[in-house]
Amino acid sequence: MRTPDKVSGCLILRFDFHIKRFTIKKKEKVMFTMSDKIVLTGIKPTGMPHLGNYVGALKPLVEMSKSNKTFMFIADLHALNFMRDAAALRRHTYEIAAIMVALGLDLKNAVLFRQSDIVEVSQLATMLMNVTPKGLMNRAHSYKAATDKNAAAGLDIDAGVNMGLYTYPVLMAADILLYNSDIVPVGADQKQHVEFARDIAGYFNHIYGPTFKMPVPEIGRDTGIIPGLDGRKMSKSYGNVIPLFAPAPELKKKVMRIITDSRLPGEPKDPDTLTIFQLYKHFAARDEVAAMHGQLLAGMGYGDAKKILFEKMDSVLSAPRMEYERLMNNTAELDKILDDGAARARVVAAETYKRVRRAMLG
Ligand code: ADP
Ligand code: TRP
């Protein structure tokens, strides 16, 4: 057992971020209160995100990066349990990096990197395996979903389950603990994994003395559920999505396909039940939203409302879309950003790993 004061020196890892001044546009100075909390999240590289991901996850993360020291990595190791195409994985990794930069991720505060560039994460996962009860993994939602599906199909419960999927939460705990994270913003489906990281940190600290901080999951701010083209929650699994950076003609086609009822122009519509209006709310300014609300009640036709929605979305998304396309044509620039991020992440990772090694191996 290590003595607490021997360890406490290692635990003073606070970043000196308090109040900083950021230049937003040319002359407009804005004060952000910098918190000294460390925010960390991982995004799996599985293809172009949709507008639900943008409103519910990516946009809030970009906002958060303005006032917190943020570690944001592309979870390519986590994708390996189901992705077998290295070229596609590489391309999707660039896509996520380009999207975050194009959306304005603050690269001063945010450390953007590839998960696989930091070898310490795999080393830490190996160490954490030894304090993680197997029963914890048996209870993981993602593993249980696979075994339930197999059982329902009359197959061996572990059919098609690889160890990457089974031990997924241990690698995720390593991600979280390696960077001394305080806050882990995730979707509701990932909350259990963050709780497992807390459990694993607790087991470790109990055996080896205080070594890890306790991270706290933060479930998406209340942005509401963004409806998809068919009115259900926008989701990859429903095939009803609008891709975040769809080219303008495709965006227009998708918007025109949003399902409506058969009310005619001139008939009053209830804005709060309309997908068109729910989407518009997230892109337009307050007075524009109020104006469309009034016009729908007064009988605005769906065709006109869709046209306004498309134009608004396109005007908000066209600059980041252009930047995204520019970056995707300049992957050397993305490599540089990711390499810089990895160098910054490695400093913290090496320090934590050294502490763990000392605790476990002497
Ligand atoms: P999908 O349902 O398309 O598979 P994910 O589960 O990968 O989406 O979601 C990733 C993140 O995006 C989640 O953290 C969630 O907060 C956000 N998100 C996904 N769909 C929506 C939606 N329709 N509305 C709001 N947020 C969403
Ligand atoms: N498992 C997360 C997902 O599927 C991605 C992820 C990997 C992550 N490591 C993480 C999220 C660490 C937060 C913290 O979306």
* Atom number in ligand 1 closest to CA 50: 3
3-state secondary structure of 40: strand
3-state secondary structure of 9: helix
236 ligand 1 Cβ < 6 A: yes
Give the model's pLDDT for residue 199: 98
Residue nearest to atom 4 of ligand 1 (CA): 236
Give the model's pLDDT for residue 4: 39
Radius of gyration over every alpha carbon of the chain, rounded to an integer in angstroms: 23
Give the model's pLDDT for residue 24: 36
Q: Which helix (H) or strand (E) holds 95?
A: helix 86-102
Which residue do the tokens 């349990």 mark? 81
Contact in structure between 178 and 13 (CB atoms under 8 Å): no
Closest ligand to C-alpha of residue 197 is 2
Q: Tell me, what DSSP letter sits at residue 233?
A: B
User: In testing the pocket of ligand 1, which one of 193, 235, 279 has its CB within 8 Å of the most ligand atoms?
Assistant: 235
44 ligand 2 Cβ < 6 A: yes
Distances (CA, A) of 236 to 45, 83, 152, 186: 14, 16, 23, 17
* Atom number in ligand 1 closest to CA 44: 7
Give the model's pLDDT for residue 188: 85
Residue nearest to atom 11 of ligand 1 (CA): 53
Give the model's pLDDT for residue 42: 96
* Atom number in ligand 1 closest to CA 186: 14
57 ligand 1 Cβ < 6 A: yes
Give the model's pLDDT for residue 59: 92
Closest ligand to C-alpha of residue 77 is 2
Contact in structure between 317 and 92 (CB atoms under 8 Å): no
Torsion angles phi and psi, residue 33, rounded to 5: -85, 115
70 ligand 2 Cβ < 6 A: no
pTM for this structure?
0.88
59 ligand 1 Cβ < 6 A: no
Domain locations in the chain?
10-225+330-361, 236-325
| Residue 317 in tokens | 């998304």
* Atom number in ligand 1 closest to CA 187: 14
Give the model's pLDDT for residue 6: 36
One of 3.90.1150.10, 3.30.70.1290, 1.10.240.10, 1.10.3720.10 is the CATH number of 236-325, namely 1.10.240.10
pLDDT in tens, 209-227: 999 999 999 987 666 789 9
Indicate the Cα dihedral angle 202, 128, 174, 76, nearest 10°: -150
Q: Which fold has domain 10-225+330-361?
A: Rossmann fold (3.40.50)
* Atom number in ligand 1 closest to CA 227: 23
Integer Cα distance of 347 and 271 in angstroms = 51
Give the model's pLDDT for residue 222: 62
| Ligand 1 midpoint to CA 230 (Å) | 16
pLDDT in tens, 159-184: 999 999 999 999 999 999 999 999 99
Give the model's pLDDT for residue 32: 47
- Given a cut of 70, the residues of the chain with pLDDT beneath it are 1-34, 221-223
Contact in structure between 42 and 61 (CB atoms under 8 Å): no
* Atom number in ligand 2 closest to CA 40: 14
187 ligand 1 Cβ < 6 A: yes
Give the model's pLDDT for residue 306: 98
